[in-house]
Amino acid sequence: MKQQWNGGAAGTRMSRYPEIDQLAKAGTTFYYSWWDFFPAALSFGGSDSYNHWQIASDNGAGVQAPIWVLGLSGSGMRLTLIWSPNDLAPVDGPHSNETGKRTYTGVVVPVGQWVFFEVVVTPRGDFTGAIRVWPMARWFSIYPRSRRNSRSRRRRRGS
């Protein structure tokens, strides 16, 4: 897939929900890998966003909810990984004894060169899952901290 942006409001979305839903329900680790080229730094206001990658779920009634979003900050090309960007993810998480939106910041994405991205997800309905992102800070991991683990799969409400 090739994307091109020439300024103004624009967007491209590629979605593969059925396969990811099946892998998540089975608890199977899965990978997203891609190369990107940013010819110049992106800049946008606080009410705008740049989502590079995300995992979304639904609440069983078909209402979509982003769970994890990998994006860029509004200036400076800093990579961010956000849990529950609009507070529609499960109340508890991403680690045990945590609640609400969480933002993790990573490396500055270089411009004018190809950059390799990879996201590895080990989905679990409890707090034993994991998410790793390259190049957040070399491998950025939401893994167990002490005895606290990451929630990387959303259970549908009512199931």
- Per the CB < 8 A criterion, the answer to whether 86 and 103 are in contact is no
Percent helix, percent strand, percent coil in the chain, to nearest 5: 5, 40, 55
Q: Give the global pTM.
A: 0.77
Preceding omega of 110 cis (within 30 degrees of 0): no
Q: Tens digit of pLDDT per residue, the chain (159 long)?
A: 666 666 666 666 777 778 888 998 899 999 989 888 889 998 888 778 888 888 888 767 777 888 889 998 888 898 989 988 888 887 788 888 888 888 888 889 999 999 999 999 998 878 888 888 888 655 556 654 433 344 544 443 333
User: Rounded to an integer, what distance in angstroms lies between the CA atom of residue 142 and that of residue 92?
Assistant: 15
Collapsed DSSP state (helix, strand, coil) of residue 17? helix
Query: What is the C-alpha radius of gyration for the chain, rounded to an integer number of angstroms?
Result: 16
Check residue 154 and give its pLDDT.
Answer: 43
